Structure 1
């Protein structure tokens, strides 16, 4: 056997497809926004879409638009993001902890000093009987009509918490956590904040950290930046009463969605109400660039799963309705705002049918039907929405339902699956038939492959992207994703070439530089890798996980004092990085600083109890970069910390007798996969006939692995999760 049974693990950091550069605070200048292409004829009508116009916040709107602001405040959008406060609490007390079976962790919510905390324990784990981590609930995402999920703040950076409050159920795991428990480490991406809060001021190149973030969706989400409009109105010298008395006229200082073509009005809503499995930003776009009047398809390329009957957009479902098609050319077409007017109180169950009755009058329905039972169900007081827009299960949100916006006759009309043969299906027509359609579809496949951990799709995407980008100088992000695909296929030379092309074309974001540094590192060029890391960190010093990787390289190169300094800086920025704490401990051990090393290692195990197994498998490696002369076990500096009893037949790691690492109790015809802490697959060691397997400590590139923390996992056909695994640590001498 020559290849692992599973494809390469995705490195999430390589797929940070956005750079946080835009947004503005009310009281200070904003960082420059991305310079966009010339506006089209629709955009050109509105002067506030110029790059220099800033956002001002809802407080600047209320003086003249008090009634509209009061109505909007009742809508869920106005409550989509806000600090948690005891006086706004809707959550009930939690009676029993919820256990996450795949990871073994359990979670509960506790009250303490007027705040709510989510607490993690590990019940039944003899190695961590006292394990407890707790994180305070600092922010709420969601109005609570369907659910409220929670964020905690660490040094200004926002992380999602494992438990969500569902209105129809109570406490349960946040979406995705039952399958992949991210614990307290799931960073909130810009895409989430862009749709749940009103244009925050982001930290450059650092998702999840926002020096200024306003609560909820505000006026400027649908009307665009307001500074020009406010300044123009205030310069007139009239008070709000006088301004309100002015007859309505065309005002080019602010976007009025009512003056937009229908498709652009729908885009205003769809900017946050499209939920595809893959979203790729167009070249030179960021998550905060979209403004009303612009085309959404010029901002994102969306892709849903191929062959799915996928409810990805309420607006898309509405467009499939006979009601929409019949009215699309009329003076008042059917659209989102027909039923969801943000400037009026939200409809009640009694009033939500009024838009239907404006066309389907009671007398017309009575005349149309002849059967008495059908006449009764179509009486003026009947619930049109409940029948013709049935409630369906929300596939991505546990315990969630919504009204399907495909208006249809129940039992007669049925949805059809997409006919696309590939793994993803473009949402916009331009990505099916346009001149860049094949390019963006291949880019979408790289993202899909990373999310789905699908090596076959990585191969497919790279095969498609490479010829499309031959001689291309206009798509640096596409070159970046080609580099990612090659990197995840283990083709570091091709990865480096594609990533270098991306940088030459101007995509020198820290994520791109980091990916190139990783490729250079695996090609043995430590000097180039270090320079790239230093360049990335100069752009954003708060990239703690990236700084910890830089420290790993320094430790590998034997510069232990510098590595120690960089680990400490990374942990000062983000104290919750367990691998950085562990590797700091290894660097301190190598400097004979046992007491301080013990403190760092103890903190690492407190954050990640599974690391206790590495304390039993600390291995000191002596030799060159390509050959181990001697390999010995280092006694644990924390003898009081014990890993769980594994039994004589359990998978284990130890020093061999001939300068090798031994993996014990392996199954036949399988592999021992060795991963970096971030999940990057480094090599696969065949188990052949099983039992004790010898490994020469070299990675897939033929070089001895550097000092640091690693995880080994056993895989063989027929084995089911949880798969046997253990951590180990290398020290270099």
Structure 2
């Protein structure tokens, strides 16, 4: 049964773009969560399903509702409460002129910029000529960056076997992400309920496959992109969190937001570290000061210097603790976090076990600092603000002097042991020896500063082990403090994190993939027993069961999630995949129809719908759905392959041969190309 109907073997696909694993888009450079290794476009590797369950479905509880930790939180700061509004940097600048001026020259104050629309600012950073690779070839495609009268477009081009151009994928770029310190990546906005962005009340946000890299002043493919798997990817609220001002995400959607996307400003602002400023601005310094922990201050807005070290670090932790996976606490969202509160009340960050750690990853500075002797011997007093001024970036000679002075606050009594000529050769720069820069292991054309603060220079940071030892859990919660949730909560979060990790392991490594998935399933089964309304845990359980064996348990967990969260794009996506894996065609069609209704501009969802119709042998419907995918991205190999199968069975043999040939040529991975050929031959027998 599976031999003739199974689609191509698993490959990378964003089965749950709402996940926040590998979660930060990296300082000044977007890196959306790396697509996980299972399938793309709703394709699943169908194996013989488990025997169907004869048990009656259990009563379904309501979706989990958890009390908002901001309400009633014991803090002297009054802007922690959820009712206090954000006002934007312009309101802060009226009184804090100099701080505002310095901050907006800082990379954080330049984290994003509009390239189109009334707030667009002309950019001179990017160059659009051959010397800067404005057209380059990679993975069998030509990528082209063009400056236009209205801003910028990015284009994906390819040729057929005769050297003739195929229809191109072109996207208008609306928003640039990144200050340019390392580079910039780019986002495209599409109206969801109108013909133009100006009239839209909802928009979908997608990332372009092109990025500008400052180090070598050239264009290149965006980190993590495989062009044979789509050419664009959804940009979630979690992805945007550390690069733009506040957004208003549509609940339960992958990449949909209220329009306009950014109401006050594009870049990260003052309130990301100080909390919402409505009360502070309204009272204009008239709020009576309070005394707390031996200090006297204005309680209408958070001032990080008055916070204890753990809460001060939590502000930086929002974006600079990358970790391996970030899991939202039950019922929580990242945008609910308020400075002055523990970050772990809103999310749990999991890092690799030290044996598998890689200290050369971009945005791993927070973890590295915690490994340093400076941190461990400071009893937690050392934090990011000990060295960094968040309002002003110190560069050049001024930067060397600034950071040297910060070192000397603790190291005055013992001078540097390096011979004077060597010190002078490095401009007496402490960082040159103790915090050297090196290449990033996860971002091309980028370097990172080693925040382990090594006593002796080390040429290369240790890379992670590739051997997974059975007795060690691959992930661990980064911090355990007095504010850390109970063990049951952490186990639930760990189950979700390991479920995601199992997705990222290719099926060829079945033993490791299955072991991690079983560890995840054990914890998630306990979690849904304790909190049966936890839709996120049910979704993760479905993913874990799929990695173990895509049978009835996978389907039951997906059905639970969809029943609890009937508006959830993630839940319907999982239900479609689970239904396909269990040959429940009617249920799969229901889920696929719901997906394209939720997000009609998603290539993945139309491919899911096409896959369902191929399994049902409804060739005309499969053809129509694949053409909807190709109308969005005409160079998507899998959509071409699906269309080719439908064309063959409809008697359009020449068109089928043409499309399948294009699909094979546009798939750069030889193993995947061979798998596609084998699958296609079986489909047209």
TM-score (norm 2): 0.72
Separation in structure 1 between the aligned mates of residue 551 and residue 217 of structure 2, nearest angstrom: 48
User: Which residue does 2:34 correspond to in 1?
Assistant: none
Structure 2 residue 369 is the aligned partner of structure 1 residue 323? no
Alpha-carbon distance between aligned partners in 1 of 2:384 and 2:350, rounded to the nearest angstrom:
22
> Is the alpha carbon distance of 1:125 and 1:528 closer, same or farther for their aligned partners in structure 2, counting shifts above 3 Å?
closer
Say which of 617, 620, 636 aligns to 1:608: 636
Q: Which residue does 2:557 correspond to in 1?
A: 498
CA distance in structure 2 between the aligned counterparts of 1:714 and 1:174, rounded to whole angstroms = 15
Question: Structure 2: where are the runs of 5+ without partners?
Answer: 21-64, 192-202, 289-294
The structure with more radius of gyration: 1
| 1:46 aligned onto 2:77 | yes
Aligned partner (choices 325, 329, 332) of residue 278 of structure 1: 325
Once the two structures are TM-superposed, the CA of residue 328 in structure 1 deviates from its matched residue by 4.2
Give the aligned partner of residue 124 of structure 2: 89
Specify the alignment match of 1:66 in structure 2.
Answer: 97
Tell me, yes or no, if structure 1 residue 464 matches structure 2 residue 502: no
Question: Which structure carries more relative contact order (alpha carbon 8 Å, separation 6+)?
Answer: 2
Aligned-pair CA distance for 1:362: 12
Q: Is the 8 A contact 2:154 2:172 kept in 1?
A: yes
1:484 Cα deviation from its structure 2 partner: 1.6
The answer on whether the counterparts of 1:128 and 1:609 sit within 8 Å (CA) in structure 2 is no
Pair 379,477 (structure 1): closer, same or farther in 2 beyond 3 Å: same
Over 3 Å counting, the alpha-carbon distance change for 1:299 and 1:111 in structure 2 is same
Query: Per the alignment, do residues 347 and 559 of structure 1 end up closer, same or farther by CA in structure 2, a change over 3 Å counting?
Result: same
Contact 1:339 1:352 in 2 (8 A): no
Report the alpha carbon displacement of residue 142 of structure 1 after superposing the two structures with TM.
Answer: 0.7
Q: Contact between 1:446 and 1:457, CA under 8 Å: does it hold in 2? A: no
- Kindly tell me the number of residue pairs found equivalent between the two proteins: 591
Give the distance between the partners of 1:518 and 1:542, measured in 2 at CA.
18
Structure 1 residue aligned with 2:156: 120
Aligned to 2:624: 583
Aligned mates of 2:530, 2:69 — CA distance in 1? 22
**1:479 equivalent among 522, 538, 556:** 538
Cα separation, 2, equivalents of 1:127 and 1:363: 66
Unmatched 5+ stretches in structure 1: 19-33, 239-247, 565-579, 587-599, 621-631, 653-710
Corresponding residue number in structure 1 for 2:569 = 510
Whether the 8 Å contact between 1:618 and 1:730 is mirrored in structure 2 is no
CA distance in 2 between partners of 1:614 and 1:137 (Å): 29
Residue 236 of structure 2 corresponds to residue 165 of structure 1: no
Please name the residue that 1:425 is paired with. 475
Taking the aligned partners of 2:668 and 2:268, their CA distance within structure 1 comes to 47
Alpha-carbon spacing, 1:363–1:111, altered in 2? closer, same or farther (3 Å):
closer
Q: Superposed, which structure 2 residues align to 1:205-354 within 5 Å?
A: 205-210=252-257, 211=259, 212-213=261-262, 214-233=265-284, 249-306=296-353, 307-311=355-359, 313-328=364-379, 333-344=381-392, 346-354=394-402
Q: What's the secondary structure of 2:570's corresponding residue? A: helix
- CA offsets per residue over residues 31-77 of structure 1, 9 Å max, x none? xxx96444599753222222222222222222122222111111001
Q: Structure 1 residue 559: deviation in Å?
A: 13
* Matched position secondary structure for 1:119: strand
Q: Deviations over 1:551-597 (max 9, x none)?
A: 65996899999x98xxxxxxxxxxxxxxx8x43478xxxxxxxxxxx
- 1:327/1:16 CA distance change after superposition, 3 Å: closer
Q: Deviations over 1:229-288 (max 9, x none)?
A: 23333988x9xxxxxxxxx95222222211211111112112111223332222212232
Counterparts of 1:423 and 1:257, CA distance in 2: 35
What aligned pairs does 1:185-200 form with structure 2 within 5 A after superposition? 185-200=232-247
Supply the RMSD in Å over aligned alpha carbons.
Answer: 4.7
CA distance in 1, matches of 2:605, 2:454: 55
Number of the residue aligned with 2:423 = 377
Judge conservation of contact 1:80–1:216 (CA < 8 Å) in 2.
yes
8 Å CA contact 1:619–1:633 kept in 2: the answer is: yes
- Give the whole-Å Cα distance in 2 for the aligned partners of 1:613 and 1:273: 41
CA–CA distance in structure 1, aligned partners of residues 159 and 587 of structure 2: 46
- The question of whether the paired residues in 2 share the 8 Å contact of 1:619 and 1:731 is answered with no
Q: Deviations over 1:139-166 (max 9, x none)?
A: 1111011111122233332222222111
Distance verdict in 2 for CA 1:437–1:476, change over 3 Å = same
Identify the residue that residue 13 of structure 1 maps to in structure 2.
15
User: What is aligned with 2:86?
Assistant: 55
- The answer as to whether partners of 1:479 and 1:502 remain within 8 angstroms in 2 is yes
- Alignment correspondent of 1:698: none
Question: How many angstroms does 1:225 deviate by?
Answer: 1.9
User: What is the distance in 1 between the residues matched to 2:416 and 2:95?
Assistant: 49
Cα gap change, 1:230 to 1:530, in 2 (>3 Å): farther
Structure 1 residues 642 and 200: CA distance shift in structure 2, 3 A: closer
Which position in structure 1 is the counterpart of 2:179? 143
Q: Is the 8 A contact 1:389 1:405 kept in 2?
A: yes
In structure 1, C-alpha distance between the alignment counterparts of 2:675 and 2:612, rounded to whole Å:
31
Shifted more, 429-438 versus 258-267: the winner is 429-438
Q: Are the equivalent residues in 2 in contact too, given 1:445–1:458 (CA < 8 A)?
A: no
1:150/1:413 Cα in 2 relative to 1: closer, same or farther (>3 Å)?
Answer: closer
CA distance in 1, matches of 2:331, 2:167: 45
Q: Is the helix fraction higher in 1 or 2?
A: 2
Q: Secondary structure at the match of 2:256?
A: coil
Report the CA distance between 1:724 and its aligned residue.
Answer: 5.4
Is the 1:106–1:122 Cα contact (8 Å) retained in structure 2?
yes
Note the C-alpha offset of 1:138.
Answer: 2.0
**CA distance 1:534–1:48, change in 2 (3 Å):** farther
